[in-house]
Chain A
Amino acid sequence: MTTTAESTTTTSQDETTRMTMAVAMNSALDLALDGDEKVILLGEDIADPAGGVLKVTRGLSSKYGTGRVRATPISETAIIGTAIGAALAGYRPVAEIMFMDFMGVCLDQITNHAAKLRYMSGGHSTIPITIRTTVGEQRFGAQHSQSLEAWFMHTPGIKVVMPSTAIEAKGLLASCVADDDPCLFIENVRLAFSQKQEVPVGDYRIPLGEADVKRPGADLSVITYGPAVHTALATAETLADEGIDLEVVDLRTLIPLDMASVMDSVAKTRKAIVLHDATTFCGPGAEIAARITEELFGKLDAPVKRLGAGYHPAPYAPSGLSYLPTSDELADTARELLGY
């Protein structure tokens, strides 16, 4: 486990510049295209001038040509299928699916093919594809808002990554592209432009499967990832005023899952909340909470709690029905656990 994102291993970290998460991902793709001629990009509207939904691929088709940075028809099945095929022939495709909800359209290619081909071929097939996708905002409604990472965690054979900061977005995306297995890289619309920090300009990678303690604390561990990391950090500030010291563990990758870091943290604090935007019921937190309970049963001072979205499709009502876990809910749950 590393203690801050900045201290993570890096190949070249001398020069940095302030980047949004979107720009940091663009930088990772730019370097990947530059460094490996087998890297190709596929997706709807990814070529210039559009440059993708979140402008993550902006400038890349102009720089590397539309042969390698290909805008596709609206054909999700063909996008993932051709990425798999090209991967079987030695390429390293990065495919963009505009919104995570549209994974439903190409789920067969992802879960029956990308995730299983290595196994079904007895290790003879390698599918080094990266699927980039976004999780949306409530103003789009139920078919553009779902955090579906649990679907993929439940499918052996595909890695699942969700960064919370710009620097990690760059380092983790670079590692996904270089990885020899299929990786699902989930970008959050809210973070893409709000997250801004110093990011290495050159090649920079963060290994998959290493959690990061975003805030060390003594009283309670919040195990989280993606946008919820920021909810947890904000809550930690509020609770600090009450003398409650939260530790915030950012998983960063869900597969591989750094359970060792989770156990280290909870063994120390003896209390844990798993927090995410995905549905609580059968969500990633269910697995993590169960594992904590199994392994640290005797050391826990309180039950392990899960906080996520309610069991319902994402409601639209942008100002009426909020449904993602809030800082207030997290604070209340933390106070409750500290009462044990």
Chain B
Amino acid sequence: MVHAQSALEADAAETALSTADLTQMYRTMRLITSTGEHAVGEVKAGRLKSAFYPVRGLEGACAAMGVAMLTEDQLVSNYRSLGDALAKGASLRSIVAEIYGRADGTSKGKGGAMHIHDQSVGFVTSTGVVGSGIPIAAGLGLAAQLDGAARAVVSVFGDGTTSIGAYHESMNLASLWNLPMVFVCQNNQWAEHTPIAEYAASTDLAARAEAYAMPSLAVDGFDPIATAQQLRTALGRARNGGGPTFVEIKTYRLTGHSGSSDYSYMPTDELAAATERDPAPTFRRWLLDEGVLDEQALAEVDKEVIAEVEDAFAFAQDSPQPAASERYTDVFADEKVVSAL
């Protein structure tokens, strides 16, 4: 595997990944691929009416984040959040039920596929409006700082999001206030139909981030080990009062923008080259070659993941529709405000 050129001095002992970490990473990758493909299959078959945003290609990046973050660390994501949510440990059953808009979903079916969250594991919120989660993450960072707590906040967003004002405002503010944050830019090279070179004058996102006077680096998102190590270092620094870091994770979108969208505009050679590096199978081979896990252990993980995903979809499909009365709950803390209008 190629290891990232890093601007950060990673402390080898601190960032070393144990066999348990590596196993967890593989498991997370498989879980993300399998859940995502299942969901896209349901959308394409017309059984699921959902604007679902696939995460194929991000498995390594997300799994790396999963092992790098501690339970108390917090995460804010966007509409393409399945991988982030699973990596942070959100309940698979509740996530799938939410994608189906059912009562047992993370938002009782009222949020939907774009708005997964699980406060219990620090997956605080996710937004459907590009960039809007970033200042909210900065607010969580501010709270952590005010609390004097050793927890870090990760803000996840795409490459295209670096075009929006909210991103730039938050980067400056986080750097100025030394907030305990890691800005994780999942650079999948595309913003819907537009490749990065067509919307950015400078496509070196890490170099641009440096201008905010915060450490910044780019890492190969198809190298989950390097990614996890860099994220660990950045998170450690945030927790220790060292302020924010920008981490550009270079990856590639292995699908269209949304679950059902066409992607004939993506250059086939680029897509094929990226698919060659498909995170989960590549990592599986590496674990075997390096002797970290044997075939039997890996097959066991694969089997468990498939069972878990099948269980989650069955659970979601059996979960009831939200009650009609749910329309008017959760608008305010006090339901009477609405009924009195």
Write out the residue numbers on chain B whose beta carbons fall within 8 Å of the beta carbon of A142. 110-112, 115, 128
Q: Which of B98, B102, B107, B129 has the most CB of A within 10 A?
A: B129
Q: Does A89 contact B (CB under 8 A)?
A: no
Instruction: Tell me which residues from 44 to 82 in chain A have a Cβ below 8 Å from any Cβ of chain B.
Output: 44-45, 49-50, 71-77
Contact indicator A44/B194 (Cβ below 8 Å): yes
**With A and B bound together, what is the CA distance between A140 and B164 in angstroms?**
21
Q: How many residues of B contact A (CB 8 A)?
A: 45
Contact indicator B327/A323 (Cβ below 8 Å): yes
Residue from B109, B110, B341 in contact with A281 in the complex, judged by beta carbons closer than 8 Å: B341
| Least Cβ–Cβ distance between B315 and chain A, in angstroms | 16
- Contact status of A141 and B193, CB under 8 A, knowing A74-B130, A312-B328, A317-B110: no
Instruction: Provide the main secondary structure of the chain B interface.
Output: loop
| Least Cβ–Cβ distance between A276 and chain B, in angstroms | 17
- Contact status of A141 and B194, CB under 8 A, knowing A105-B164, A318-B101, A319-B101: no
Write out the residue numbers on chain A whose beta carbons fall within 8 Å of the beta carbon of B130. 74, 102
| Least Cβ–Cβ distance between B198 and chain A, in angstroms | 7
Write out the residue numbers on chain A whose beta carbons fall within 8 Å of the beta carbon of B101. 316-321
Contact indicator B327/A321 (Cβ below 8 Å): yes
Residue from B166, B198, B200 in contact with A71 in the complex, judged by beta carbons closer than 8 Å: B198
Write out the residue numbers on chain B whose beta carbons fall within 8 Å of the beta carbon of A140. 51, 112, 114, 128
- Contact status of A318 and B324, CB under 8 A, knowing A74-B161, A142-B115: no
Q: Does B231 contact A (CB under 8 A)?
A: no
Contact indicator A315/B128 (Cβ below 8 Å): no
Contact indicator B109/A320 (Cβ below 8 Å): yes
Q: How many residues of A contact B (CB 8 A)?
A: 34
Identify the closest chain B residue to A323 (Cβ): B327
Contact indicator B107/A74 (Cβ below 8 Å): no
Write out the residue numbers on chain A whose beta carbons fall within 8 Å of the beta carbon of B128. 101, 140-144
Contact indicator A315/B50 (Cβ below 8 Å): no
Q: Does B321 contact A (CB under 8 A)?
A: yes
Write out the residue numbers on chain B whose beta carbons fall within 8 Å of the beta carbon of A45. 192-194
Q: What sequence of 0s and 1s flags, for each residue 77-104 of chain A, a beta carbon within 8 Å of any chain B beta carbon?
A: 1000000000000000000000001101
**With A and B bound together, what is the CA distance between A49 and B327 in angstroms?**
39
- Contact status of A321 and B110, CB under 8 A, knowing A74-B130, A311-B338: yes
Contact indicator A321/B131 (Cβ below 8 Å): no
Q: Does B165 contact A (CB under 8 A)?
A: yes
Q: Does B113 contact A (CB under 8 A)?
A: yes
Contact indicator A141/B192 (Cβ below 8 Å): no
Write out the residue numbers on chain B whose beta carbons fall within 8 Å of the beta carbon of A312. 327-328, 331, 338
Residues of B within 8 A of A (CB): 49-51, 98, 101-103, 107, 109-115, 127-132, 160-161, 163-166, 191-194, 198-200, 264-265, 321-322, 324, 326-328, 331, 338, 341
19 residue pairs from A and B, CB less than 8 Å apart: A44-B194, A50-B192, A50-B194, A50-B265, A71-B198, A74-B130, A74-B161, A74-B163, A102-B130, A105-B132, A105-B165, A139-B49, A142-B110, A311-B338, A315-B327, A318-B50, A318-B101, A321-B322, A321-B324
